[in-house]
Structure 1
Amino acid sequence: MRLLAFAGLFAGFGATAGATDYPVTVTDLAGRSVEIKAEPQRIVVQDGRDLFALTLLDREDPLKRVVAWNNIVSRSDPQTWNLFKSTWPESAAKALDMKFGDEGQINIEQAVAAKPDLIIYQVRVRKALDDADLLKRFDSLGVPVIMIDTEMEPTVNAPKTVSLLGKVLNREKEAREYTDFYATRLAEIRKAIEGAPKPKVFVEAKAGQKGADFCCFTHGDVYWGKLISEAGGINLGSSLVKGRTGDVTIESVISAAPDVYVMTGSPFSSDGSVSPPFGFGAHKQKVSAALGALERRKGFDLVKAVRDHKVYGVYHQLYASAMNLYAVELLAKAFYPDHLKGLDPDADLHKIVAEFTGLPKGVPVVFGAKAPEASN
């Protein structure tokens, strides 16, 4: 019921939204009131995965306003970055990669030198901002900072983030198109699986990044753990690790007897990575081969989900992306195939790319797949 109401909220919002009238005061995802005096033309982006949100809004060129950022995409998924770079070469070359620390550390002198009229931060790094008193320092320089969230409360805040950025960047129509679609699909999934028994799910985050012999890094009640829960599963990582994230032995996974095993993957640039190369420009055969090889690791034949052929792979970067709707769809369909027979995550993904972005028509994209049946 909560999500059905959520869908209605966005539908109602869309009926009255128009072009942004500046100056405008918005409330960001940290609950801060921020005044934007004019349409931003030069922005600094703390987390490079927010490129996916910008792609939904500035469809003709999602990098055109970015003057400095942390280009995580180039390091965590070079094949996707190559696609963006080849599609928008001038703006891609212009944007300075400042390689900010993952917890929000920033060189304020470099950032100010880029002459931004907006800085975008993820809520999860708020502590670093407060510790360094950066919000007050940017305020004294007349540079507005807005905080967004696609990670801590993914399905609640990803559409809110798109709506907020749409308002700030004068892209309300584009934001509304995506958030309406998001809310409708989410409500349909929740209604279909309401009351059904929840499967136990183990998610191996960044599967294969440290090589073929490593297992298993997972998320607790954050990031992928949240998305597992939002898709209707019981995230085993929440009870297997003490902190937000951590390593779990294969023996612990075997004992936990997951009904479904999920591997998240990306074509990481790190040496020795054999992670499934999901993303834009991906090839299904390479993804399937990587998933199959990881399934055949020592001890995996004893994992319940592997024996039951309930192993799935999904694009790792979606845990921090406004496009996380695909992850929820794929996972929910894997958890409840009989309840969601009509749901087609890949068709919806292609709709999102074709209708809500300016990426090349027909660009190959593989964000998820069922692993081949393992033969040990």
Structure 2
Amino acid sequence: MSLVLLAACSDGNGDASASSEKRTVVDALGREVKVPQNVERILMGGQKMLYTTALLNPDNPTDKIVAWPEDLKENDKATYDRYVEKFPKIKDIPTTGEIYNNTMSLEQALESRPDVFVVNAGVFDAAKDAGIVDGLEKAGVPTVTVDYFIDPVKNTEPSIRMMGQLLGREKQAEDFINYYEKKVNKVADRLAEKKPAPTPTFLWRAPGYFDCCSTFAKSNLAQIVNFAGGLNLGDEMIDAKQGQVSPEALAGKNPEVIIATGADWDQGKTPVKEGNYVPLGYSESKEEAQKALHDVVGKQPAVREVDAVKSKRTFVAWHHFYDSPYNFLAVEMFAKAMHPDLFGDIDTEREVQDLHDKFLPIEASGTFWTGLE
């Protein structure tokens, strides 16, 4: 990378006096980072950040975004299509490679002339190893992290707050944080008052997309299971944040509740054959999802004999709760599944509708949660 290009990128981001004025933000990793007082150009480390920017600026959710990878289009096509239908200019935003598979380069990052680089905490080290973080820093471009994946219970609110600061949407960020806190505190407070025994629960990660049976442990949706009154069995079964167990190992744990995840994977980057997974999201009907869940469970003889299946306490949640600020919906859904006597007043469909009515620019449609009937 030439010094000329580095200089051009550090000097060409807008008004010189504006870029010299700094403010300090605290990112999801707790790092205090100096960023321009008025950020105008943001390089996103993931297109899924649209989940966040749409909350904060529903009239113009791509404001200030100058480039991003295509992970939303590749992994959540139904959501991507809804936003493109309403905001066609999304298709015109330049795209980059992705950090997780080492296809984003420093050259790509600098080409977008960003004021700041926003990256998921889970791939921050990979971005450093690739030379992107240090290279941008030498060009005067700070990197900040968000996190809905590693420690969602702790990091969702600071991630939203920081993004509100970067986008100049502080009030909108605080409005959503207050809403979010009300939802999760309702669950936490009721559990603290009633003190039910944790419900042994197996998180079945993307059946059909992954071989049976992939699961989460000690972070991500597993953390939400534990927060919402469950005992996440994957914590005892795997040593990584996500990994495989055999159907027989799952059956040996005999969970009281199974929560699978599903999404619209037949048209993504890695298409999955219809009938082998549970389709959830904006395009899917409850009837289709329920039939698919029944079929997926039926293909696993060991799994279909566990108590969670026999008692019809087997559910499926939208997979992308695992990496979005909408994870409070998973808190509510999981709590109701694991403790129906305590949370029978939670109407999951109404909660999805309320989120869209209050914060999002697209209409609620499709299915984000259902179960065996």
Displacement of 1:48 after TM fit? Answer: 2.6
Match of 2:116 among 115, 118, 135: 118
Equivalent runs, 1:27-46 vs 2, <5 Å: 27-46=26-45
Partner of 2:138: 140
Show CA shifts across 1:178-207 (max 9, x none).
Answer: 110111111111111221111100011112
Displacement of 1:79 after TM fit? Answer: 1.4
AA at the equivalent of 2:93: A
CA distance in 2, matches of 1:318, 1:126: 20
Equivalent runs, 1:324-339 vs 2, <5 Å: 324-339=327-342
Residues 1:173 and 2:171 aligned together: yes
Displacement of 1:103 after TM fit? Answer: 6.2
Displacement of 1:371 after TM fit? Answer: 2.3
What's the Cα RMSD here? 1.8
Residue range with higher mean Cα deviation, 110-119 or 62-71? 62-71
1:30/1:94 CA distance change after superposition, 3 Å: same
Residues 1:205 and 2:205 aligned together: yes
Question: Does the 8 A contact of 1:61 with 1:358 survive in 2?
Answer: no
CA distance in 2, matches of 1:292, 1:39: 52
Residues 1:323 and 2:322 aligned together: no
AA at the equivalent of 1:284: K
Residues 1:349 and 2:352 aligned together: yes
Partner of 2:297: 295
Show CA shifts across 1:232-279 (max 9, x none).
Answer: 111111111232222111111111010100110111122425322212
TM-score (norm 1): 0.87
Question: Does the 8 A contact of 2:105 with 2:132 survive in 1?
Answer: no
Question: Does the 8 A contact of 2:280 with 2:318 survive in 1?
Answer: yes
Show CA shifts across 1:337-357 (max 9, x none).
Answer: 111122223212211111112
Partner of 1:187: 185
CA distance in 2, matches of 1:162, 1:147: 11
1:318/1:110 CA distance change after superposition, 3 Å: same
Show CA shifts across 1:76-126 (max 9, x none).
Answer: 121111111111101x11222323032676311011111212210111122
Show CA shifts across 1:134-163 (max 9, x none).
Answer: 333212212122111111110221122111
Q: Which secondary structure does the structure 1 equivalent of 2:118 belong to? A: strand
Question: Does the 8 A contact of 2:50 with 2:62 survive in 1?
Answer: yes
Displacement of 1:36 after TM fit? Answer: 2.2
Displacement of 1:32 after TM fit? Answer: 2.0
Aligned length: 345
AA at the equivalent of 2:163: L
Question: Does the 8 A contact of 2:54 with 2:360 survive in 1?
Answer: yes
Question: Does the 8 A contact of 1:279 with 1:315 survive in 2?
Answer: yes
CA distance in 2, matches of 1:132, 1:55: 29
Equivalent runs, 1:37-76 vs 2, <5 Å: 37-76=36-75
1:204/1:62 CA distance change after superposition, 3 Å: same
Partner of 2:262: 265
Structure 2, unaligned runs of 5 or more: 1-20
Question: Does the 8 A contact of 1:42 with 1:66 survive in 2?
Answer: yes
Residue range with higher mean Cα deviation, 178-187 or 285-294? 285-294
Partner of 2:13: none
CA distance in 1, matches of 2:228, 2:73: 29
Question: Does the 8 A contact of 1:69 with 1:98 survive in 2?
Answer: yes
Structure 1, unaligned runs of 5 or more: 1-21
Partner of 1:370: 371
CA distance in 2, matches of 1:284, 1:354: 20
Partner of 1:15: none
CA distance in 1, matches of 2:348, 2:97: 33
Partner of 1:223: 220
Match of 2:252 among 255, 261, 270: 255
Q: Which secondary structure does the structure 2 equivalent of 1:96 belong to? A: coil
| Deviation >6 Å, runs of 4+ | none
Partner of 1:245: 242
Residue range with higher mean Cα deviation, 284-293 or 35-44? 35-44
CA distance in 2, matches of 1:48, 1:136: 22
CA distance in 1, matches of 2:220, 2:100: 15
Displacement of 1:282 after TM fit? Answer: 2.7
Question: Does the 8 A contact of 1:50 with 1:322 survive in 2?
Answer: no
Question: Does the 8 A contact of 1:205 with 1:224 survive in 2?
Answer: no
CA distance in 1, matches of 2:130, 2:284: 40
1:191/1:103 CA distance change after superposition, 3 Å: farther
Residue range with higher mean Cα deviation, 240-249 or 305-314? 240-249
Q: Which secondary structure does the structure 2 equivalent of 1:24 belong to? A: strand
CA distance in 1, matches of 2:325, 2:260: 20
CA distance in 2, matches of 1:23, 1:305: 54
AA at the equivalent of 1:128: A
Greater relative contact order (Cα < 8 A, sep 6+): 1
CA distance in 1, matches of 2:191, 2:31: 35
